[in-house]
Structure 1
Amino acid sequence: MLLVPAQETSTGVLLAGAAAARGLETAVLAGADTVERLAGRPVHWYGGPLAGARIAGRLGLALLEPEDDWLVRLPEEFTGRRIELTTLADAWTLTRPAFVKPPSDKSLPPAVYADGSRLPRHGERIGPDTPVLVSEPVTFGAEYRLFVLDGEVVTGSRYARFGRLDPGPLTAGATDFARRLLAAVATSLPSAVALDVGPLLDPYDPAERWAVVEANMPWFAHCYAADPARVLDVVLRAAGPVAALRPADRRFVGAGGAPTVGADG
């Protein structure tokens, strides 16, 4: 069973079609009644983290997420920039331009801020202790999303050029860089993950240099021009029953979907 939110998205529609093609039913999360009806059934989630956190315990879901400090721990040869994990309160003290974003959710608009005074100070989902990633600003000439299962790229596509939405085919350059990265750091990621990469633009260095943009939760990632059937494979692993959770993935289960029973159910 694939469960999707009531608010329809293009990726949700594509995944529902891919699920139907392999005989899986899709249900819409219309309220508490939906959760009660599906309790005890094997359910997989595609949707936002807030709703996911609300339903994970009742539906026995294990929602895999990259660790908040994953980018920070990467060698600079893969990031192409300095990155630190800190709090929003510390980011408020910045006196230089910086790119600031939450590690995984969308509680704070990801952007280059001229200084810390431009960052939000109040909001329903943010506060002084909100974790944020702060990095020096860089420019990606293009950005690609690759869906990864068991350390292998299974599908992907371009989703932006020069910061503007522009879906297109996956290139050999993006795939080759992702494979080199995964060969070096695969065990630091969940077995199912969405990986964003792209070539950096440097006016002082014409050589093409690839870097990681970020790692994402597949169950909350647009598929753009990727193959929906292969994306579904990754989503099913990344947001499925606790009973099917692999031991190596236990440390990647987010707080909202923390397992309460063993892998044997």
Structure 2
Amino acid sequence: MADLLALAPHRSTTGALLAGAARERGMGVVVLTRDGIPTPPPHGVRTYYYGGPYFADSALGHLGVALLEPAAGWLDLLPYAFTGRHVRCVPLGEARRAPGPLFVKPPTDKSFPAAVYADGEALPGPVGRLRDEALVQISEVVAWVREFRIHLLDGEIRTGSRYATFGRLDPAPLAGDPDEPAVRDFVRQLTRACGDTLPSGVVLDVGLMRNGDDERWAVVEANMAWFSNVYAADPARALDVVLRSAGPGTSVRARDTRFRRA
């Protein structure tokens, strides 16, 4: 049976890296058209996807692809031992009335910039898909000393990359990084305690958090593997996670059915 990686029309470095890794393992690669409806794949072809959620919502039903994603409120339900800060998920309309400063982000879809806002009134107004009822995450403002992106497959680290230092882009492979042992230990603790709350193929961002004089490892967020930058991670290993997170609907495992994007 043949395998096909379908890429969203928006070009990206990560898309190109994953396409190269897919071709190296004998997969076909196609870039979907921006304004067209994808042709259903021929019988016997398993289709996978990498790209944005809005394009996926309009196109992937024709391809039979199921997308796995963390629950929108996943982070605010994590124990404080793993977040190191208080996080809550509220409608955007409610967030606009919150005092600041506060850190606000959309849970998964990147519909507006994740940033520190002076107060809720500084948040974007309703536009397009961004309605008052849209859920956003609010948390206290903390500093991230170093941040890492981890590609998880069945609760194990498949590959990873540092991506930021004090908020500035600073990609480097996880392998061999001085923080690698601490990152692996923290992720191991998290997956043992809360692994069943995440899809089997997912991206997890973790970091060394500074809050006043205190430093601790904490979860930044969880993301869809099919819409995440690989930074300096191994593209071939990252592809393994992407394929699990966005593949044929008929292949979704029972434990992952509750993580299917509606």
Which residue identity is paired with 2:14? T
Offset of residue 10 of structure 1: 0.6
**TM-score, normalised on structure 1?**
0.92
Q: How many Å separate the matches in 2 of 1:250 and 1:177?
A: 27
Q: Does 1:201 align with 2:204?
A: no
- 2:188 corresponds to which residue? 179
**What are the within-5 Å matches in structure 2 for residues 76-115 of structure 1?**
76-115=80-119
- Report if aligned partners of 1:85, 1:131 keep a CA contact under 8 Å in 2: yes
Which residue identity is paired with 1:17? G
5+ residue gaps in structure 2?
Answer: 175-179
- Report if aligned partners of 1:138, 1:200 keep a CA contact under 8 Å in 2: yes
- 1:261 corresponds to which residue? none
Q: How many Å separate the matches in 2 of 1:61 and 1:191?
A: 16
Which residue identity is paired with 2:193? A
Bigger strand fraction: 2
Aligned residue pair count: 253
Match of 2:75 among 60, 71, 75: 71
- 1:259 corresponds to which residue? none
Q: How many Å separate the matches in 2 of 1:45 and 1:225?
A: 21
Q: How many Å separate the matches in 1 of 2:9 and 2:125?
A: 30
Q: How many Å separate the matches in 1 of 2:106 and 2:211?
A: 25
Offset of residue 134 of structure 1: 0.6
- 1:251 corresponds to which residue? 258
Q: How many Å separate the matches in 1 of 2:37 and 2:97?
A: 45
- 1:219 corresponds to which residue? 226
- Report if aligned partners of 2:147, 2:205 keep a CA contact under 8 Å in 1: yes
The 3 A distance-change label for structure 1 pair 169 and 183 is same
- Report if aligned partners of 2:40, 2:63 keep a CA contact under 8 Å in 1: no
- 1:18 corresponds to which residue? 21
Offset of residue 245 of structure 1: 0.6
The 3 A distance-change label for structure 1 pair 138 and 36 is same
- 2:177 corresponds to which residue? none
- Report if aligned partners of 2:40, 2:62 keep a CA contact under 8 Å in 1: no
Aligned CA RMSD, in angstroms, stands at 1.3
- Report if aligned partners of 1:39, 1:59 keep a CA contact under 8 Å in 2: no
Q: How many Å separate the matches in 1 of 2:198 and 2:8?
A: 26
- Report if aligned partners of 1:39, 1:58 keep a CA contact under 8 Å in 2: no
Q: How many Å separate the matches in 2 of 1:37 and 1:61?
A: 10
Match of 1:27 among 30, 43, 49: 30
Q: Does 1:190 align with 2:190?
A: no
Offset of residue 33 of structure 1: 5.2
Q: How many Å separate the matches in 2 of 1:143 and 1:154?
A: 17
- 2:41 corresponds to which residue? 38
Q: How many Å separate the matches in 2 of 1:98 and 1:31?
A: 36
Q: How many Å separate the matches in 2 of 1:202 and 1:126?
A: 31
- Percent identity (aligned): 49
- 2:57 corresponds to which residue? 53
- 1:258 corresponds to which residue? none
Which residue identity is paired with 1:186? G
- 2:120 corresponds to which residue? 116
Structure 1 residues 202-257: Cα deviation after superposition (integer angstroms, max 9, x where no partner): 3423xx410000000000000000000000000001000011110110000011xx
Offset of residue 108 of structure 1: 1.8
**TM-score, normalised on structure 2?**
0.93
State the secondary structure of the residue aligned to 2:11.
Answer: coil
- Report if aligned partners of 1:61, 1:241 keep a CA contact under 8 Å in 2: yes
Offset of residue 59 of structure 1: 1.0
Structure 1 residues 117-169: Cα deviation after superposition (integer angstroms, max 9, x where no partner): 10111321211101001111111101100000001011000001101111012
